[in-house]
Structure formats: structure tokens, C-alpha cells
Amino acid sequence: MSMHADKPLSIVVLISGNGSNLQAIIDDIAKNNDNACITAVISNRPDVYGLVRAKAADIPTRVIDHTGFDDRLSFDQALQDCIDEYQPGLIILAGFMRILSPTFVSHYHGRMINIHPSLLPEFTGVNTHQRVLDAGRTEHGVSIHFVTEELDGGPVICQSRIQVKANDTSKSLAMRLQIEEHRLYPIVVQWIANHRLYQTGHQVVFDEHVLEAPVDLTESSPS
């Protein structure tokens, strides 16, 4: 990492909706993390509640409405231009519901992370909670990973597991998993801000060791 130790990690967060993970990160930085600063929140949709959360925390907000662009590449270029105004050391995808082009992703190699509601590499894509139930799995979870050109395919940093209960629905699983998302994302942001974690090639280095498997942040008695 090339950032000076005395300069907080500059973060841009990309959202498309409610922004609950954004809120968890805002709250953690305010309480526990002097080494990070969210310099902008960018949404591809206007009038979403995540923008309200950002404004309440005095974080600059921008809207790059994808419906105003003819194709994905022109949207991605406008988004990239907007992000680069802030020169962030880290881009966080927090419920950002756009598939990004390979050119965009490669521009931010090693600087962009995403959270995904499954135990990657299983159940990439959408509707993971229902798909886990349909597959009869007894375990579900959340993964945080560096973003690469492969959808939900970048190197996984950490995971947390929950047990699937007999009476679970996709909604109940989503609610319980969201608690884990809000716990894990701020931890990873702190690791990066404190220079404990970075990506090299297709590997993750944590505390000077290449991760052979994702860090397991499951609490001792999974809910």
C-alpha cells in the first residue's frame, strides 16, 4: 500500500438502495477507526435511502443514474470519472446492483471489495437465500471478496456462517445474514485501513501471510 500511515484511507462507497451496510461502516468509522474516511457515496439510483444516510453523516453524495446512459460502458466511464475525482484508496460495493465491465474492474484492481450473501464460491449471483433453501443446505453465510472481472469470483477475504433452521424462509435467512454483513464489513475496512490486508495478483495477503482460505469470522455459536 502506498498510502502514508498518517493519512486516513480514503473510501468511496457505491450503493443502489437502502444502504444498511453503508450505515454500519459509517458508524464503525465514527467510533473505532481514525484511519479511514468516507469521502463520497455514489448511487446509480436517485432518491434511495442510502443517500439520506450519507447526508446525515455529512458525506458528499453523487448520483450517476444508469438509466441516462445508452450502454454499460458509457455508464461505467462516467462512474469511473466520478470516483477518480476523489482518488480513493478503497472502493466499497454496498448493495450496488450493477454488473461492472472488465475495464472498470481492472482500473481498480486491488482497491475494490464487495459483500455477497453466500459462502463463495457457491451461489454466486442473486436470490441466494432461496437457492440455499431449495438446495436443502444446512448452512448459509456471507463472504467479503476483492472484486475481479469474474462476477462474485474475486479472492475471498473472510466469511461468516449461520445455520439454516427448519422453519427458515428466504426472508428470515436474509434478516439473520444481514446482521453478519453489518458485523463483517467494518472489520475488513479496518484491516485495509490499518495496512493488514491487501490483494496481490489473485491472492489475499493478511498480516504478511498469503491466505490459503478465507478468514472464518463465524461467531462461536452461529445464530
Task: List the pLDDT tens digit at each of the 223 positions of the chain.
Answer: 444 456 899 999 999 999 999 999 999 999 988 899 999 999 999 999 999 999 999 999 999 999 999 999 999 999 999 999 999 999 999 999 998 999 999 999 999 999 999 999 999 999 999 999 999 999 999 999 999 988 888 999 999 999 999 999 999 999 999 999 999 999 999 999 999 999 998 899 999 999 999 999 998 644 4
Sequence-distant (6+) residues with CB within 8 A of 75 are 44, 64, 66, 69, 98
The SS3 assignment for 220 reads coil
Cell digits for 221?
455459536
Q: Read off the pTM.
A: 0.94
CA torsion 136→137→142→146, rounded to 10°? -90
Q: Is 195 a catalytic residue?
A: no
Largest CA-CA distance found in the chain, in angstroms, rounded: 50
Q: Which CATH architecture has domain 115-223?
A: 3-Layer(aba) Sandwich (3.40)
pLDDT for 214 equals 97
Q: Which superfamily is assigned to 8-108 in CATH?
A: Formyl transferase, N-terminal domain (3.40.50.170)
Q: Where are the domains of the chain?
A: 8-108, 115-223
pLDDT for 150 equals 87
CA pair distance 45, 159, nearest whole angstrom: 29
109 closest CA partner among 65, 152, 146, 150 = 146
| Residue 17 CA to its chain's centroid (Å) | 13
Fold match, 8-108 / 115-223: yes
CA pair distance 35, 96, nearest whole angstrom: 24
Q: Count the neighbouring beta carbons within 10 Å of the beta carbon of residue 209.
A: 8
Catalytic annotation, pick one of 116, 140, 145, 182: 116
* DSSP one-letter string for 56-116: HTT--EEE--GGGSSSHHHHHHHHHHHHHTS--SEEEESS---PPPHHHHHHTTTSEEEEE
